[in-house]
Structure 1
Amino acid sequence: MNIKKVNLGLVPKLLLAILLGVIVGQLSFIPTVLMRIPVTFSNLFSSLLAFIIPLMIIGFIVKGISDLTEGAGKLLGLATVISYGSTILGGLVAYFVASAVFPLFISAQGQTDVQEAGAGLTTLFEIPLKPMLDVTAAIAFSFIMGMSISWLKSQKKGETLYHVFDEFNLIIVKVLNTAIIPLLPFFIFGNFVSLSYSGEVFEILSIFWRVFLIVIVLHLTLIALWFTVAGLYRRKNPIKLLKNQIPGYFTAIGTQSSAATIPINIECARKNGVSRKIREFMIPLCATIHLLGSMVTIVSCVYAVLTLYGMPVNLGMMTSFIATLGIAMVAAPGAPGGAIMSALPFLTIVGIDPTGILGNLLITLYLTQDSFGTAANVSCDNAITLVVEKLYFKYIAKEEKSEFIEEG
């Protein structure tokens, strides 16, 4: 008899890890030394993450800058400006909504000091694994190399150097997909064992589900607004445009990957009347550079964590974080958790240690909502494509208007 192997997705695994961590942390008959085992694993995983973070910065940003400027034509420039502006605007909207709503149910009173949070269980041992570069040095190096490679390519040079960083990017993505992301459930299990043991977990979970609902409502609202704008500008029925996008939305929820949703999203664009030339260029491009849903989720989660532990949060600090993150998430791997992994190095901007307890909470909170953020990303990609198409043929490529044929 053949037994079919059940392959749970990342989100079910994370939810199971949270549930088991909460239960195990409350079982008084389990010896403390046994509970310290998963906590030790989480600590070792944090050290590995700290080591990889500077390498992630180099792997993503150098290639991202080089790719975005390679052969940069007017269409690419138009798409990039609108996509980046949309991502930044989404982050700011998330900040204002969070600042207005989250304090109503998140209170820092009685919270443990940040340095002591989750410190109910100690590790059995530690391995002193230090990063080869600090985050600031990695960022400076990445921007210098990215812009330099872009300049070299404009001089018909730099191909060898570009391929070095291109392949380094592939190595980092491979490490994320085969080691970091698969081990996240065990990492989160250890964190929640410690939080449950120390008694903090129940207040945190009571906040998680409310943040989750608010973020989903915010995603759906922004999707509706984007398609309304696109429909009015293109003189199309926004309801029909939204209806055509439904397959892409649910495919993204299932795959948790913008890249994996590209074929379905191209078909959604065809049904919305986007010409072949534009849809086959814009949809793959936006899958990489437009991350509105991910930005909304990350900003909301960051605000929730900062508020929970009574840490300072203001518009200036969050604006800097959002602007930087809009660039950093470019070239995020098309895999579950890619956006938050790319964002980790920049959490220091808002005072969060990406490998500490607050960073752990942020990863957990984000990943449980990742599929909905991805669905918002790909849905708004199609709305942007509708707008960019008309702008391109109206103001940039007037001589190509004959190719601007409505399909579907």
Structure 2
Amino acid sequence: MEARSVAKNYRFLAILLGSMVLGAIVGWVSPELANKLRPFGTVFINMMFCVVVPMVFASISSAIANMQSRKRAGKIMGVTILTFVITGAIAAVLMFTILKAFPPVQTAWTEVPAEEIGDYASLSDMIVNFFTASDFVGLLSRRAMLPLIVFSMLFGFATNLAGEAGKIVANFLSSLSDVMMKFVQIITYYAPIAFFSIFAGLVADYGSAITESYGRAMLVYYPLCFVYLFTAFPLFAWFGGGKHGIKTMFRHIARPAIVSLGTCSSVATIPTNIEVAKATGISDDVSEIVLPLGATMHMDGSCFSAVLKIAFVFGVFGQKLSWAQLIPIVLVAVFSSVGMSGVPGGGYIGEYIICSIFFPNQMEMAFPILVAIGNLVDPPATMINSSGDYVVSFIVSRFVDGKDWLDKVIAKQQAEA
């Protein structure tokens, strides 16, 4: 891979991180100037709040309304999605356990009572709020992201099942989705200016606590990703491919891991993943469904970061994680990562979900903090997400082609040799 190509793929991320650093310097040197710059950040946040509802509805309902499936493909997809959810939950529980012992924020930036952060109620109430709003108008609020997602999915299914009568609606949703994607891209061009002003204001208010907290968060996140790669992935490969699974995985996984780090894109890693899957002997229909689907849905690294974001903002507000929060945090981490990664602006939507569930009364402060963490952890998260797709294809092959599928592949390769 050419250095020029790698630089191009990281260019916008580098610009965002650079704007954050410059903003932090301005906030440290001149707090008065930083306070004058705040409106430029508020404009960006308000624009994103305005666009998120139509974007989510159009993207999700369009994808479902226009989908097609076959019998074996349906089985492969079912096993694939279930595996994505299970591995994502494992990642979320692991990160929660680590952050319970090693909280990323040692000193609160600001003391906010729990009732001022927002009440996310009991587990039973949270389940109701996850999936429903009291009326249609309630769906149009940024504070009801999960009910909107459920409504969008059901609307897409209804459109798909309507057959010929639903085609006009499906085409409209597809066009609307493209328009909203372009809309988000336009707003995103303004992000470097916004993050410059946002971080100038944050540093002006909270000073060195910010750099210390982000540093601790990265010291937890980066090593965990590499430990997960060399411990959890071999276990998944063994489960999917038996005694030969681990050796086969290590023979091929370096390529997608390196490409994903170089491109910072799960989608850009699909061709490499398909090549190594073919070299492994995974069935074409399995690899051609699992790997593209995984690029948009399999997000163990993003589940790590979702839990880190929640714990981080809790610490910012002077709140601690408790074991009573485990289930809701894991649910939100899996849903915001697995469900939103294929949606245009999906990272932002995942952060909106986290804000709307856990920090509904402090969204304006929590959102830029969450986005900043997302930018900082993006490279290793993408590596885990993308190389994990290849490993999941082992598990899917076990359930679709039999638990001895890899033994048969190796025997065939030896016979041909």
Q: What is the CA distance between 1:352 and its match in structure 2? A: 5.0
Q: Name the aligned partner's letter for residue 349 of structure 1.
A: I
TM-score by length of 2: 0.79
- Quote the residue 1:15 is aligned against: 17
Contact 1:313 1:350 in 2 (8 A): no
Deviations 1:31-76, CA, capped at 9 Å, x for gaps: x3x5445311101111111112222332343345557785572111
1:210 to 213, 216, 228: 216
| Number of equivalent positions | 377
- Quote the residue 2:61 is aligned against: 62
2:141 to 118, 134, 142: 134
Q: What is the CA distance between 1:146 and its match in structure 2? A: 2.1
1:319 to 302, 310, 327: 327
Cα distance change on mapping 1:281 and 1:214 into 2, 3 Å: same
**Which stretches in structure 1 are left out of the alignment for 5+ residues?**
116-130
- Quote the residue 2:182 is aligned against: 174
Deviations 1:244-267, CA, capped at 9 Å, x for gaps: 222211222232221121111212
Q: What is the CA distance between 1:386 and its match in structure 2? A: 1.0
Q: Partners of 1:325 and 1:23 in 2: how far apart?
A: 32
TM-score by length of 1: 0.80
The structure 1 segments of at least 4 consecutive aligned residues displaced by more than 6 Å after TM superposition are: 404-408
1:190 and 2:197 are equivalent in the alignment: yes
1:107 and 2:107 are equivalent in the alignment: yes
- Quote the residue 2:120 is aligned against: none
Cα distance change on mapping 1:68 and 1:344 into 2, 3 Å: farther
- Quote the residue 1:159 is aligned against: 167
| Higher share of residues assigned helix | 2
Q: What is the CA distance between 1:230 and its match in structure 2? A: 3.7
Q: Name the aligned partner's letter for residue 59 of structure 1.
A: A
Contact 1:57 1:139 in 2 (8 A): no
Q: Partners of 1:88 and 1:64 in 2: how far apart?
A: 24
- Quote the residue 2:393 is aligned against: 385
Q: Name the aligned partner's letter for residue 250 of structure 2.
A: L
Identity of aligned residues (%): 19
Q: What is the CA distance between 1:281 and its match in structure 2? A: 1.8
1:361 and 2:365 are equivalent in the alignment: no
Q: Name the aligned partner's letter for residue 226 of structure 2.
A: L
Q: Name the aligned partner's letter for residue 300 of structure 2.
A: L
- Quote the residue 2:154 is aligned against: 147
Cα distance change on mapping 1:331 and 1:21 into 2, 3 Å: closer
Cα distance change on mapping 1:294 and 1:99 into 2, 3 Å: same
Q: Partners of 1:349 and 1:321 in 2: how far apart?
A: 9
Q: What is the CA distance between 1:77 and its match in structure 2? A: 0.8
Q: Partners of 1:371 and 1:54 in 2: how far apart?
A: 28
- Quote the residue 1:97 is aligned against: 98
- Quote the residue 1:25 is aligned against: 27
Q: Name the aligned partner's letter for residue 77 of structure 1.
A: G
Q: What is the CA distance between 1:112 and its match in structure 2? A: 4.7
Cα distance change on mapping 1:93 and 1:42 into 2, 3 Å: same
Contact 2:355 2:363 in 1 (8 A): no
Q: Partners of 1:167 and 1:258 in 2: how far apart?
A: 24
Deviations 1:211-247, CA, capped at 9 Å, x for gaps: 1121122222222234312432312252552342222
Q: Name the aligned partner's letter for residue 83 of structure 1.
A: F
Cα distance change on mapping 1:164 and 1:96 into 2, 3 Å: farther
Cα distance change on mapping 1:114 and 1:258 into 2, 3 Å: farther
- Quote the residue 1:126 is aligned against: none
Contact 1:294 1:373 in 2 (8 A): yes
- Quote the residue 2:84 is aligned against: 83
1:227 and 2:233 are equivalent in the alignment: yes
Segment of structure 1 superposing worse, 325-334 or 373-382: 325-334
- 1:328-339 correspondence runs (5 A): 328-329=336-337, 330=339, 332-333=341-342, 338-339=346-347
1:44 and 2:50 are equivalent in the alignment: no
Cα distance change on mapping 1:190 and 1:406 into 2, 3 Å: farther
- Quote the residue 1:299 is aligned against: 307
Q: Name the aligned partner's letter for residue 153 of structure 2.
A: G
Segment of structure 1 superposing worse, 211-220 or 65-74: 65-74
